[in-house]
A and B are shown apart, each in its own frame.
Chain A
Amino acid sequence: MQEKTHSLWETGAEDSRFQGAPVSQIGHRLMCLAAFPGVPAAALLVILKFGGYKALLSAIITFGVLCFICGTVTSALRIKWGLGGTYVDGVTLNYNGGFKETFLYLLKTRLLSLLAMAVIAPAALLLLFGLYTGTASIADFLTEKLPFWVGLIVSGIFWVLLIVIGLALLAAIVSPTGFASAAVNRFVYRRTSPAGMPADPNKSGFIGNFLHIIVPRIMITTIPVTITLMTGLIPLRQHSEEFMTRYLSLYGNGNKEPAMKIWTMLQNIVHRGFSVLDVPSDTRDPHAYPFYQETTTIIWTAILLGIAFLVLWPWYRYRMMKWEINNTVVDGYQMVFKARMNDYFLQWFAQGFLVIITLGLYGALGFFRTSMWKFRVKHTHVFVPASAQAKRDSYIVSADELNMSWRAKLRSTINATSRGKAKSYFKRYWTLYALLVIPLVYILIFKYIPMLFIQIGAKENNIVFSIWDVPWAKNFGFEHFITAFDSTAFKQALRNTLVLNGLDLVFGFPMPIVLAILLNELAFKKFKRFSQTIFYMPHFLSWVIIASLSLQLFNPSSGLINMFLQRLGLSGIDPFNLPFQWVIMFVFLGVWQSAGWGTIIYLAAITNINPELYEAANVDGAGRMRKIWHITLPGLRPTIIILLIMRMGGIIGSDFERPYALKNTIISNWSDVLSIYVYEYGLRGQKYSLTASVGIFQSVVCLIFLFGANALAKKFGERGVM
């Protein structure tokens, strides 16, 4: 029997889709997380009040139990809801588990795995305890009764056990569901079925599950921990040295040489590998022991942990997902997971990056999970046997009709009609080209020719000679980039640009949306028009004017705001002298100036939303918030995405007038952004090459961000800007 992978309508991704809104996902996640901040805070309070181990222990237990229960509730809800909102090839998946059963089952498996952990844990704890405190007695025993080599081997085994079991214990703590997930997967797929029919169970056996789900999980938890230990968050060396000194000194008779040799060798490895917060400073020779330097250690730890969580984690999730789906049979149909690894990675990073910068961590997790579900379902297909094919063929639309796009049709029609007119074309339309001459010459001179001059960034600093005659700079022309990235001023400017733009994005981007919705909801029409007029007003003020205004308003002695604060009995503010307050003022003034103007686009988008939707919602008895949430915001989504893309393009670009008007010498460490750097070092300090290379850097990063954000938006099925 010939079988092939098949999508029902032959349109690919269309029919594997995920229809749940992210809201439930976020809600469930947040319900769990809502318990999180309260418990440790209470625990902290208890500890501070009463102190001691008992308080700590009780806090840990309470925290653990609450998190365990909340986590299980969330998982059960997510499984139920996630599978319930899924379509695969036109077939609705149904989850027949029921919330209560799922919850109980999850609870049972997780508790069992925790019990298993509880058996391992004491043993490991004993070992750890013995090695750290009872070392001497064990060593005494070993050295008195047994020959030297046996002692060495036994202590070596102890060390291996310490590392392995300690890490396994950590793995168990970090991932309490690790051992249970295989069982949970079988349970979940046994209860999943299209159209409510009973499903065949997940095909994979226990061993396969163990290899594909548990082993990667252990790896993902142990590898970062191992790396962290290796690079030195725990000062193991001191203990090992003590241990060995005692060991060797006790072993009085006999030849120490071979043992010392081996031990020195081991110690060298340990020295280099296990870093060492307790090494005396005079031995910190960075050439001999690169890990000795604390900063190096921290950087390496960060890099390796980053690799572990950014590469290994998605790798493991992908592997697990593929294994699960490829081993699932639903109603006799084999599920197939077709996503490639790099797609998954892209999705992972893109989604993580986008959501984390646009939302808080809490909402981000929910959105992240939703998008991962969508991805999973998009790439899940049904493997249809040939016998079932015939039944489905009757539905399939003619492939020619689908393949011929409307663009192609349109193009063929246009070609057919315009060919006849070609002869008289230039005679008729030469004036159009004549009109275009002036703008094109302008564009050429003032936009494209400067692009040729960008090369000054890679040449020696010279403006007297023609730019073509100036020799190239050192380091293959990268001299100025290197200088820039070495200089504190540039780094400071880069930091300030990123910080100020980031804050602008966080606070300035959502404000117009909120304002537009407010204006839209405003019931009094005349008042609405009046407020619009006033809201637009700040946009028409120049930054010099706004700086004058704010200098006046925030004046510590006579300013309006400080007068107001004084009348309220509060302490005054002085943003022009205090960097932190200056940053806040900068962001606030940005919002003040541009939020009203930004509403224009959103208001226009709101008017384009079909009013019937609102009427239907009214009939259904939806309240104001519901209408905003379910109609207005989804209607604004494309606009928001496009504007967000444009914002992303400008994340490193910097406006000149705003910071330059608001800055002064006192807070210049926080206000000097890249454009000010270019002005002060380039135009005033005449370091043209240096600042031109900074400009190149800025433009290229802008382009990368713009195209990246655009590609991401398109990847998620949104309309991009290009």
Chain B
Amino acid sequence: MDWFYIIAAGIAAAIQIPWTVVTIFRVRDKKANPWALIVIWIVVPFLVYWLSFILGVFIAVFSLVWQLLNIIYGKKPKAGDWMIAFICTLIIVVCILPLINILARSLSDAEALMRSEVFLWPKGWNFDAYKRVLSDAKFTWALAWTAFLTVAGVVLSIFITTIAAYPLIYDNLKGRAVINTAIIFTMYFGAGTIPMYILLNDLNMLDTWPVLLVPYCLSVFNMIIMRSFFYGIPDSLRESAEIDGAGPVRVLVSIYIPLSTSVIATLSLFYAVGRWNSYTDALYFISNKTYFPIQLLLYNLLKSLQSIDPAQEVVRTPGLSETLRMAAVMFATVPILLIYPWLQRYFVAGVTLGSEKG
């Protein structure tokens, strides 16, 4: 019965603690009565304990009946499996429903959207929004520019990650511990935004496009993943190559890189996703709109639409902005959603490696 009590306590705490925190603030702002705290700590445990107890009794009775039925009909009890599958299905629905809804909205008629009729299937099929988005020069430029940034960034990052990770697998590299510590320390302690801004200002890099590639091109965590993968390649390969007269660089190029395509693919995905999805660095360091990546463009679109008052919205084509935005969102999302399932096996292994050594 222990787990039952623990779950009950966990549920009680999960409700009580946030509720208490919120209530304390509300009491401070004179929006709630202090007695609410007492209610939280008496009524909530009461409800949770006794309701969960009743629920527990119900479950116990149900499972007893179920097992009896199974004994009668001679099957093994598999109710749990179906229940878990059911829960997973629910979670899948929660994950995927928003995207389907967005897709349906982007393909719908603007007026149907305004009548809030669109649920999971588009009403009044048309591709106008996509056409309009694609005919918008700023948007297409941002797409192409971000694609370039992503490809260039991935190449640069993978290069620098590889040459940082590879020497560190040599046990007898002098000063390895120092270099290792110096690199890993930066993972735990960063200077922060302002010093970085000052540095880029001193380097005259502000508002130039390399600022989107260079400052964050090496992720120490990814470096550790790659290093762990390199560790996994047997030393005997390296030693036999060295006996044949190959130097370290030769070994890297002709043994390690061919063997670690999977981890390179994974890290490319990580870097690409990071570059494609990030808008912070552009927001911080770039003011020239030509260099805005797609996410920042979308962000500005989002904010400008949020601040428009409804009256003005009516003057413009009602609901059209929404379909447009949804179409833009699809453009910014779909490339990565198309890629990641194919790399799933690799990135799972990559994350696991990183967690083991990190």
A-B contact pairs, 28 of them (CB 8 A): A23-B2, A23-B6, A44-B42, A359-B9, A359-B10, A361-B13, A429-B170, A436-B164, A440-B179, A446-B196, A447-B191, A521-B80, A522-B88, A523-B81, A527-B88, A535-B92, A537-B95, A542-B279, A545-B298, A549-B102, A550-B98, A552-B101, A552-B326, A553-B101, A601-B355, A642-B355, A661-B302, A695-B193
Closest residue of chain B to A604 (Cβ to Cβ) is B352
Query: Is residue B172 within 8 Å, beta carbon to beta carbon, of the partner chain?
Result: yes
Q: Do A544 and B298 touch across chains, with their CB atoms under 8 A apart?
A: yes
- Can you list the 6 inter-chain pairs with the closest CB atoms, starting with the nearest? A360-B13, A695-B192, A542-B277, A439-B164, A450-B191, A453-B195
Q: Do A563 and B116 touch across chains, with their CB atoms under 8 A apart?
A: yes
Query: Is residue A619 within 8 Å, beta carbon to beta carbon, of the partner chain?
Result: no
Q: Which of A34-42, A255-263, A380-388, A610-618 contacts B (4 or more CB under 8 A)?
A: A34-42
Q: Do A443 and B193 touch across chains, with their CB atoms under 8 A apart?
A: no
Q: Do A41 and B195 touch across chains, with their CB atoms under 8 A apart?
A: no
B284 CB contacts on chain A under 8 angstroms:
679, 683
Q: Do A360 and B195 touch across chains, with their CB atoms under 8 A apart?
A: no
What secondary structure prevails in chain A residues at the interface with B? helix
Q: Do A548 and B160 touch across chains, with their CB atoms under 8 A apart?
A: no
Query: Is residue A594 within 8 Å, beta carbon to beta carbon, of the partner chain?
Result: no
The B91-123 residues at the A interface (CB cut-off 8 A) are 91-92, 94-99, 101-102, 105, 113-114, 116, 119
B192 CB contacts on chain A under 8 angstroms:
450, 454, 678, 692, 695-696, 698-699
Among the listed B21, B201, B295, which residue makes an inter-chain contact with A463, where contact means beta carbons less than 8 Å apart? B201
Alpha-carbon separation in the docked complex, A398 to B174 (Å): 36
Q: Do B191 and A563 touch across chains, with their CB atoms under 8 A apart?
A: no
B151 CB contacts on chain A under 8 angstroms:
none
Query: Is residue A425 within 8 Å, beta carbon to beta carbon, of the partner chain?
Result: yes
Query: Is residue B163 within 8 Å, beta carbon to beta carbon, of the partner chain?
Result: yes
Query: Is residue A639 within 8 Å, beta carbon to beta carbon, of the partner chain?
Result: yes
C-beta contact mask, A35-79 vs B, less than 8 Å → 1, else 0?
011101100100000000000000000000000000000000000
Q: Do A360 and B21 touch across chains, with their CB atoms under 8 A apart?
A: no
C-beta contact mask, A2-38 vs B, less than 8 Å → 1, else 0?
0000000000000000000001101100110010111
Query: Is residue A664 within 8 Å, beta carbon to beta carbon, of the partner chain?
Result: yes
Tell me the count of chain A residues lying within 8 A, CB to CB, of chain B: 123
Q: Do B119 and A560 touch across chains, with their CB atoms under 8 A apart?
A: yes
Give the distance to chain A from B220, nearest Cβ to Cβ, in Å: 9
Query: Is residue A706 within 8 Å, beta carbon to beta carbon, of the partner chain?
Result: yes
Closest residue of chain B to A697 (Cβ to Cβ) is B192
Give the distance to chain B from A275, nearest Cβ to Cβ, in Å: 20
Q: Do B13 and A362 touch across chains, with their CB atoms under 8 A apart?
A: yes
Among the listed B8, B85, B113, B215, which residue makes an inter-chain contact with A524, where contact means beta carbons less than 8 Å apart? B85
Q: Do A41 and B248 touch across chains, with their CB atoms under 8 A apart?
A: no
Among the listed A429, A583, A625, A657, which residue makes an inter-chain contact with B3, where contact means beta carbons less than 8 Å apart? A625
Q: Do B9 and A548 touch across chains, with their CB atoms under 8 A apart?
A: no
Among the listed A503, A533, A552, A678, which residue makes an inter-chain contact with B344, where contact means beta carbons less than 8 Å apart? A533
Query: Is residue B61 within 8 Å, beta carbon to beta carbon, of the partner chain?
Result: no
Give the distance to chain B from A537, nearest Cβ to Cβ, in Å: 6
C-beta contact mask, A538-571 vs B, less than 8 Å → 1, else 0?
1011111101111111000110100100000000
Query: Is residue A629 within 8 Å, beta carbon to beta carbon, of the partner chain?
Result: yes
Alpha-carbon separation in the docked complex, A274 to B103 (Å): 69
Query: Is residue B273 within 8 Å, beta carbon to beta carbon, of the partner chain?
Result: yes
Interface residues of B (CB under 8 A from A): 1-3, 5-6, 8-10, 12-14, 16-18, 21-22, 42-43, 45-46, 49-50, 78, 80-81, 84-85, 87-89, 91-92, 94-99, 101-102, 105, 113-114, 116, 119, 160, 163-164, 166-167, 170-174, 179, 182-183, 186, 188-199, 201, 214-218, 247-249, 252, 273, 276-280, 283-284, 295-296, 298-299, 302, 306, 322, 325-326, 329, 332-333, 336-337, 340-341, 344, 347-348, 351-352, 355-356, 358
Q: Do B87 and A518 touch across chains, with their CB atoms under 8 A apart?
A: yes
Q: Do A596 and B188 touch across chains, with their CB atoms under 8 A apart?
A: no
A518 CB contacts on chain B under 8 angstroms:
84, 87-88
Alpha-carbon separation in the docked complex, A688 to B284 (Å): 13
- With A360-B12, A542-B279: A503-B163 Cβ-Cβ less than 8 Å: no
Alpha-carbon separation in the docked complex, A138 to B293 (Å): 87
Alpha-carbon separation in the docked complex, A656 to B279 (Å): 10
Give the distance to chain B from A546, nearest Cβ to Cβ, in Å: 9
Alpha-carbon separation in the docked complex, A530 to B283 (Å): 37
Alpha-carbon separation in the docked complex, A448 to B325 (Å): 41
Q: Do B92 and A531 touch across chains, with their CB atoms under 8 A apart?
A: yes
Interface residues of A (CB under 8 A from B): 23-24, 26-27, 30-31, 34, 36-38, 40-41, 44, 359-363, 414, 418, 421, 425, 428-429, 431-433, 435-436, 438-440, 442-443, 445-454, 456-457, 463, 467, 499, 502-503, 506-507, 515, 518-519, 521-524, 527-528, 530-538, 540-545, 547-553, 557-558, 560, 563, 580, 583, 592, 596-597, 600-601, 603-604, 624-625, 629, 639, 642, 649, 656-657, 661, 664, 675, 678-679, 682-683, 688, 691-692, 695-696, 698-699, 702-703, 706, 721
Closest residue of chain B to A664 (Cβ to Cβ) is B306
Q: Do A548 and B325 touch across chains, with their CB atoms under 8 A apart?
A: yes
Q: Do A453 and B88 touch across chains, with their CB atoms under 8 A apart?
A: no
Q: Do B190 and A30 touch across chains, with their CB atoms under 8 A apart?
A: no
Among the listed A543, A656, A703, which residue makes an inter-chain contact with B188, where contact means beta carbons less than 8 Å apart? A703
B87 CB contacts on chain A under 8 angstroms:
518
Q: Do A463 and B167 touch across chains, with their CB atoms under 8 A apart?
A: no
Q: Do A699 and B14 touch across chains, with their CB atoms under 8 A apart?
A: no
Q: Do A661 and B163 touch across chains, with their CB atoms under 8 A apart?
A: no
Q: Do A683 and B332 touch across chains, with their CB atoms under 8 A apart?
A: no
B164 CB contacts on chain A under 8 angstroms:
436, 438-439
Q: Do B279 and A657 touch across chains, with their CB atoms under 8 A apart?
A: yes
Give the distance to chain A from B339, nearest Cβ to Cβ, in Å: 9
A499 CB contacts on chain B under 8 angstroms:
21
